Amino acid sequence: MKGMELSKAYFEEYGREMIEKQFPEYKQYIAAGLVGEGSECLGFDDEFSRDHDFGPGFCIWIPESIYAQVGGQMQQAYDSLPKSYKGYVRVQTAQGGGRVGVLSIEQFYRKFTGLPRAPKDNLEWLRIPEGFLATVVNGQVFCDFQGVFSQIRSTLRDFYPEDVLKKKLAARTAIMAQSGQYNYPRSMKRGDSCAAWLACGEFVKTALSAVYLLNGRYMPFYKWAFRGAEELRILQPAVRDLKELTCMTDHMENRGKKEWLIENICIEVGRELNRRGFTLTTDSFLQSHGEELMRNIKDSRMRNLHIMDDCD
């Protein structure tokens, strides 16, 4: 049974009744679902996921002011729900604490974005790590009576403002050019396979992020980045090339093929930037695309940042 299916069934059988019978006066403030950390929130869980932080459970999100009044009581009620459900018992580690149970809306978002609300400013958007944005928009909301939790989530799911997207793409293209098109072949010429390995790894991670950005999606935690990329519609050939690139060692006999793959991925990304109208240059060296992206940013605060600012 997939974790999300298990969570929703457990909520419908026990959680909804708990809310309606024990906390009817607070029902209007409650949202419930399963969102956050854990492979089940992405739908990527399998038989190997069940050894820790997996099992019946769900989240209840309430405003901070209501949490101060009744959060403790609600958590006690939640803790009294059956521990076993459909043959599963939740195995929780110290690292997995706080993933389910009663949480304040503001603290949930603050934990991942640094803000108790949706970002209101380009710089606020820019400073939130991409993987954390993926964390707060994944999963499912089973019910949201007041709509506050879902309103913040909806704003985040609508993706970056255009200037922020351009700034992030500028950083990605600059790093791809530096690590893959410039430093990888130079490291190989020197016979420095360790530096080449690092350069290639930096290129793969950054290129994969660029693919996600051009699909209007946040790249998740690195363990799931390639798995999630299978679902992306745009630049699938680049994803296949990146997979092939990761499977090749940095030995001299692979140098030509790896450099060809890197160049091909850069060309594909450059063409997509052209197709979007984000850049006009047809230069295969992605640094040129990055510089054009920077010139096209309207927000002067972001336009004046270093081109590689935000390359997480």
Report the distance separating Cα 248 and Cα 254, nearest Å.
7
Cβ atoms of residues 250 and 258 within 8 Å? yes
294 CB neighbour count, 10 Å cutoff: 21
H/E stretch holding 289 reads helix 286-295
Task: For residue range 114-151, list pLDDT tens digits in order.
Answer: 999 999 999 999 999 999 999 999 999 999 999 999 99
Average pLDDT of the chain to the nearest whole number: 94
Name residue 75's amino acid. Q
The closest of 137, 143, 94 to 112, measured between CA atoms, is 137
Task: For residue range 260-296, list pLDDT tens digits in order.
Answer: 999 999 999 999 999 999 999 999 999 999 999 999 9
Angle at 239 (CA atoms; ends 238, 244), nearest 5 degrees: 95
Report the distance separating Cα 217 and Cα 244, nearest Å.
22
Report the distance separating Cα 43 and Cα 41, nearest Å.
6
Alpha carbon 4 to its chain centroid, in Å, reads 18
CA–CA distance from 198 to each of 146, 175, 224 (Å)? 48, 13, 20
Whole-model pTM: value is 0.93
Indicate the Cα dihedral angle 116, 117, 118, 122, nearest 10°.
-60
Name residue 103's amino acid. L
Give me the residues paired with residue 88 across strands. Answer: 85
CB within 8 A of 110, min separation 6: which ones? 116
Q: How many residues does the chain have?
A: 312
Residue 84, phi then psi, degrees to nearest 5: -110, 140
CB within 8 A of 277, min separation 6: which ones? none
Report the distance separating Cα 88 and Cα 160, nearest Å.
38
Largest CA distance in the chain: 71
Domains of the chain, each with CATH number or no CATH: 3-157 (no CATH), 162-303 (1.20.120)
Task: For residue range 194-213, list pLDDT tens digits in order.
Answer: 999 999 999 999 999 999 99
CB within 8 A of 239, min separation 6: which ones? 208, 211, 226, 229, 230, 232
Task: For residue range 242-266, list pLDDT tens digits in order.
Answer: 999 999 988 899 999 999 999 999 9
Q: What is the pLDDT of residue 99?
A: 87
Beta strand 59-62 with 31-34: parallel, antiparallel or unpaired?
Answer: antiparallel
